[in-house]
């Protein structure tokens, strides 16, 4: 009788209304929390979008577009603005060919023109056995024969400065019309490194034809952050998943990190955490727990862009003391990689430029000055991200 009573009690018990069931989800559309998602409604960048459209307008008439330099801190909408422009251009006409290039990945002239080649011909050229000159000639011939105008967006162009390839790339793109006056090419440069003063660092021959219209993307205000994240929450989650006070906490964290991408990533991770705990809403604890991982968005993106020897040097720095002398670090690096001091110095400069390390000169060296190197992040965080990205 007791077993029957217990069985009867179990069968009559209904699931708690406060718990998320195994076949339920908090996400209405998880795409809204992907960092590369392009929203249909792009708010609070109206003046920047207007400037980009004006610069592209000559291309719609078959003329050479105005070159642009989009600059501003990380997570301020630069890439999204350019991709929205390209989307509108492609919907309007097929006489203009927009090509987006991620310069964290494609850092050489050959790699960048391979992306252009792929967009024009739908397949990539061979990695070897074909000269740059031949690829360049085929691209320009296509543009002339098909009467197309080319616009190339070089996202994170600052990486081309670190690799000392920026002048070669821009020279080839912007002086293409010297091969034939009928070639029409425009460049949109995107940079998040405000320490790189392009107008001062570029070769004068390149700058004389680049002459970009500068479009600045400032940090979002708190009200703008609320509008943007509230829109993501409304479209990405079901109703009442993110309470108002929890969204305020997310905005606090975004202001602290100065990167909207952190807030978007926090919301996604917090939603997944709430689902794991079978809750129908996100709590402040979910946000705090998720921020510990999302705060490293910039670190993760930066490390993914590094070459193997660059990761190895960063790992040596993370495994060392709080501050390490450049001379001691070079000895270890040379033993590990057998690379010379010139390459070592170039990597140190790059890691400093992309805000992974700080380099300071002191007066304690045997010749009067020595360079001390220290991480901008906790060593444990760097080593964990390196391990997670295959380093």
Model pLDDT for residues 346-370, shown as the tens digit of each residue: 899 889 888 899 887 655 544 445 7
Among the residues of 211-295, which ranges form H helices? 222-236, 244-257, 260-276, 284-294
Model pLDDT for residues 9-57, shown as the tens digit of each residue: 444 444 556 688 888 999 999 999 998 899 988 999 999 999 999 999 9
Average pLDDT for 265-289: 95
Map residue 87 onto helix, strand or coil.
helix
- Report the run of H or E that residue 140 belongs to, with start and end: helix 132-145
Above pLDDT 70, what percent of the chain?
92
pLDDT at residue 196 in the model: 78
Residue 78 burial (10 A CB sphere; 0-12, 13-18, 19+) = buried
pLDDT at residue 362 in the model: 58
Give domain 307-388's CATH number out of 3.30.420.40, 1.10.10.10, 3.10.580.10, 3.30.365.10: 1.10.10.10
Summary count for the chain: helices (H), strands (E): 18, 8
The residue ranges of every structural domain in the chain are: 46-216, 220-295, 307-388
Residue 216's nearest CA partner among 194, 243, 238, 185 is 194
Largest CA distance in the chain: 96
Residue 45's nearest CA partner among 81, 79, 82 is 81
Average pLDDT for 67-77: 94
In the structure, what pLDDT confidence band is assigned to residue 321 with cuts at 50, 70 and 90? low
- Report the run of H or E that residue 99 belongs to, with start and end: strand 96-102
Average pLDDT for 238-261: 94
Average pLDDT for 123-149: 92
pLDDT at residue 44 in the model: 97
pLDDT at residue 13 in the model: 46
Q: CATH homologous superfamily of domain 46-216? A: P-loop containing nucleotide triphosphate hydrolases (3.40.50.300)
pLDDT at residue 6 in the model: 34
In the structure, what pLDDT confidence band is assigned to residue 185 with cuts at 50, 70 and 90? very high
pLDDT at residue 4 in the model: 39
Give the contacts of 79 (CB within 8 A, at least 6 positions apart).
Answer: 155, 190
Tracing tokens 């700058």 back to the chain, one arrives at 207
Average pLDDT for 213-239: 97
pLDDT value at 388 more than 70:
yes
Above pLDDT 90, what percent of the chain?
68
| Chain mean pLDDT for the chain | 89
Average pLDDT for 260-265: 94
pLDDT value at 390 more than 90:
no
387 or 298, which is more confident: 387
Average pLDDT for 144-159: 96
Name the token pair of 383.
């080593």
Q: In the β-sheet with 357-362, what is the strand arrangement from edge to edge? A: 324-325, 370-375, 357-362
pLDDT at residue 180 in the model: 80
pLDDT at residue 199 in the model: 77
For domain 220-295, the CATH architecture is: Orthogonal Bundle (1.10)
Give the contacts of 154 (CB within 8 A, at least 6 positions apart).
Answer: 101, 103, 112, 160, 169, 187, 188, 189, 190
pLDDT at residue 254 in the model: 93
């Amino acid at each position: 009788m007791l077993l029957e009573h217990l069985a009867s009690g179990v069968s009559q018990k209904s699931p708690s209304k406060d718990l998320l069931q195994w076949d339920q989800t908090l996400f209405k559309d998880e795409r809204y929390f992907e960092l590369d998602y392009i929203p249909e409604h792009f708010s609070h960048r109206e003046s920047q979008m207007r400037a980009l459209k004006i610069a592209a307008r000559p291309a719609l008439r078959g003329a050479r577009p105005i070159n642009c330099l989009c600059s501003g801190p990380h997570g301020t909408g630069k890439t999204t603005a350019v991709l929205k422009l390209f989307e509108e251009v492609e919907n309007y006409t097929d006489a203009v060919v927009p090509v987006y290039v991620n310069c964290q990945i494609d850092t050489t002239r050959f790699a960048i023109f391979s992306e252009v080649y792929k967009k024009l011909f739908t397949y990539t050229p061979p990695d070897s056995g074909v000269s740059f000159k031949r690829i360049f000639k085929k691209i320009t011939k296509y543009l002339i024969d098909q009467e197309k105008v080319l616009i190339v967006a070089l996202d994170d162009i600052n990486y081309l400065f670190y690799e000392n390839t920026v002048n070669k790339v821009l020279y080839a793109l912007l002086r293409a019309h010297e091969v034939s006056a009928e070639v029409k090419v425009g460049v949109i440069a995107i940079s998040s490194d405000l320490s790189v003063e392009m107008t001062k660092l570029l070769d004068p021959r390149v700058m004389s034809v680049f002459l970009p219209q500068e479009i600045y993307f400032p940090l979002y205000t708190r009200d703008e952050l609320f509008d943007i994240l509230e829109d993501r929450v409304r479209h990405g989650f079901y109703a009442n998943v993110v309470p108002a006070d929890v969204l305020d906490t997310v905005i606090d964290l975004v202001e602290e990190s100065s990167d909207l991408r952190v807030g978007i990533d926090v919301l996604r991770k917090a939603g997944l955490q709430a689902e794991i705990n079978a809750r129908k809403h996100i709590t402040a604890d979910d946000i705090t727990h998720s921020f510990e991982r999302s705060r490293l968005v910039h670190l993760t993106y930066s490390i993914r862009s590094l070459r193997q020897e660059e990761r190895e040097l960063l790992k040596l720095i993370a495994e060392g003391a709080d501050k390490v002398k450049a001379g001691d670090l070079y000895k270890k690096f040379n033993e590990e990689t057998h690379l010379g001091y010139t390459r070592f110095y170039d990597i140190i400069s790059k890691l400093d430029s992309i805000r992974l390390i700080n380099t300071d000169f002191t007066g304690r060296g045997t010749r009067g000055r020595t360079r001390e190197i220290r991480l901008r992040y906790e060593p444990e965080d760097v080593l964990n991200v390196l391990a997670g990205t295959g380093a």
